[in-house]
Structure 1
Amino acid sequence: MNATDRTPADLLRSALAADPGRPLVTFYDDATGERVELSVATFANWVAKTANLLQGDLGAGPGDRVVLLLPAHWQTAVWLLACSSVGVVADVGGDPAGADVVVSGPESLDVARACRGERVALALRPLGGRFPQVPDGFVDYAVEVPGQGDRFVAFSPVDPDEVSLVVAGREFSGAEVVERARESSGGERVLSGLSYDTWDGVNVGLYGALASGGSVVLCRNLEALGEEALAKRVESERVTAIRR
């Protein structure tokens, strides 16, 4: 993190410059047994590809609203930073009816069809797998993103004072996200079972780690894990704090 960072995308660029090889997001899905670990560099590559998809193929730009109908997941974290990179508003769990773009997991496709703009579907399968059949009216993220460029340059400068994030109905500018994320304690490796539908969820599960030089063990369906197994995970992942 640098003192000049004003947007979440700035935080990611600073983390990449400081230590690209350190773990940033380790994701578990305790309903499927999936585990994925992303270093800062790998995460940033996914963000660049997704931002290129969002800006180029989907035609999104500053002021547009992207509704994210997604659980706490490593791909959701990627989309949050891609939105910040382009300068669009990431509306977590918002109403897709008035959105310019909707990004949906498999469980919310019917709701997402209310969007009259571009629709993106994420299968949320292990290893970033595709849908067996692309949902009607959507593009499959896993099909579209691999061919995108590994470097991203925004067509328009991102204004840190404009709305960047909406979560639980509350609007945050990019600068406010950064300021609030900086309040997190530094260097922790936090295990989070929180959903992304509150500020605490997205902060503990992403922004705080970026701002503090820490990392997050992001757990979906954590309730399926017993206390003994949880204790083993805390030990094996060298977790220093738990939020659930």
Structure 2
Amino acid sequence: MDCTMTAPFAADARTPAELLHAYLRAGAPDADPSRPLITFYDDSTGERVELSAKTFDNWVAKTANLLQDELNAGPDDRAALLLPAHWQTAVWLLACWSVGVTAVPGGEPADADLVVSGPEGLAAAQECSGERVALALRPLGGRFPQRPDGFLDYAAEVPGQGDRFAPYSPVDPSSPALETVIDGLPLKLSGEQSVALAREGAARLGLGTQSRVLSTLSFDDWSGLEAGLLAPLAAGASVVLCRNSDGLTDEQWEKRIDAERVTVRLS
């Protein structure tokens, strides 16, 4: 483990979106907003995507503008995210938290105000009576060959959105931000609580600003969100997300861990 963090990173951040803002401000002396924040592998397609904090924030801003201006989503809304652990899922999570929308990874579409789904969840997503957004999850953020009926195609809608985002009203750190599962129990967390738990996870894992966390865990519960996004963000660290990687051999894993300079592996 990498224990280079001697003081809490972004100690004044009270929401997950504020953790990202702190990362962009390079709040630690050795933090560089141009370095990779998220590196993503899909081993079923051979895709590898690397996003700096600046590039990631640009995607978050565009997606938050889509949420707020096109989908009319706000702090009283809940978004069911039927998505795998993917770089675009991380974008959607931070976009929800930027607007003040409660993110519900793996949530029931029928109980949500809007739903965001990958290809595998489209049938279930039809149960949502609100806005529906589909993600093709194709390499390079590509569109669906044919837009699913009843859905907006995220890849077609997001490019035209603004590169800067400002919520219509400030996000209240004490308001609901995340519905997740911790140790088998469903919990509702505010932004403050999510950040506090992320910091606890970062400390437990010994993460610092030079850490590289490799995760193959699902985002449908807290352990995956902590490992694959929130604890690294809270520490000023970076993450390597791996999807469809069950077929990799030990030798292939060793090569990847070495090539990506991984310091912590969680699976």
Settle same-fold status: TM greater than 0.5: yes
5 Å-filtered alignment, 1:229-244, equals 229-244=252-267
- Residue of structure 2 in register with 1:171 after alignment: 188
* 1:224 CA displacement: 2.0
| Farther off after superposition, 48-57 or 220-229 | 220-229
RMSD, matched Cα: 0.8
2:17 paired with 1:9? yes
2:219 paired with 1:196? yes
Equivalent residues, number: 244
Kindly report structure 1 stretches of 4+ aligned residues shifted beyond 2 Å.
Answer: none
2:136 paired with 1:123? yes
Deviations 1:151-189 (CA, angstroms, capped at 9, x unpaired) = 000001111111101113321110011111112022310
- Residue of structure 2 in register with 1:220 after alignment: 243
- Residue of structure 2 in register with 1:98 after alignment: 111
Deviations 1:96-117 (CA, angstroms, capped at 9, x unpaired) = 1021110000011000000000
Mapped to 1, the partners of 2:46 and 2:249 lie a distance apart of 14
Structure 1: which 5+ residue stretches go unaligned?
none
Mapped to 2, the partners of 1:235 and 1:65 lie a distance apart of 40
1:152 corresponds, among 165, 169, 186, to 165
Judge conservation of contact 1:62–1:156 (CA < 8 Å) in 2: no
- Tell me the amino acid that sits aligned with residue 45 of structure 2: T
Structure 2: which 5+ residue stretches go unaligned?
1-8, 27-31
Mapped to 2, the partners of 1:24 and 1:70 lie a distance apart of 20
- Tell me the amino acid that sits aligned with residue 197 of structure 1: D
Identity of matched residues, %: 64
Q: TM-score when scaled to structure 1?
A: 0.98
Query: SS in structure 2 opposite 1:146?
Result: helix
2:208 paired with 1:186? yes
- Tell me the amino acid that sits aligned with residue 190 of structure 1: V
Query: SS in structure 2 opposite 1:217?
Result: strand
2:159 paired with 1:137? no
- Residue of structure 1 in register with 2:54 after alignment: 41
Mapped to 2, the partners of 1:240 and 1:108 lie a distance apart of 33
Judge conservation of contact 1:31–1:224 (CA < 8 Å) in 2: no
Mapped to 2, the partners of 1:98 and 1:196 lie a distance apart of 19
Query: SS in structure 1 opposite 2:25?
Result: helix
Q: TM-score when scaled to structure 2?
A: 0.90
2:94 paired with 1:81? yes
* 1:190 CA displacement: 0.8
Mapped to 2, the partners of 1:240 and 1:219 lie a distance apart of 15
Judge conservation of contact 1:25–1:37 (CA < 8 Å) in 2: yes
Mapped to 2, the partners of 1:175 and 1:222 lie a distance apart of 33
Query: SS in structure 2 opposite 1:28?
Result: strand
Judge conservation of contact 1:160–1:174 (CA < 8 Å) in 2: yes
Mapped to 1, the partners of 2:155 and 2:247 lie a distance apart of 27
- Tell me the amino acid that sits aligned with residue 210 of structure 1: L
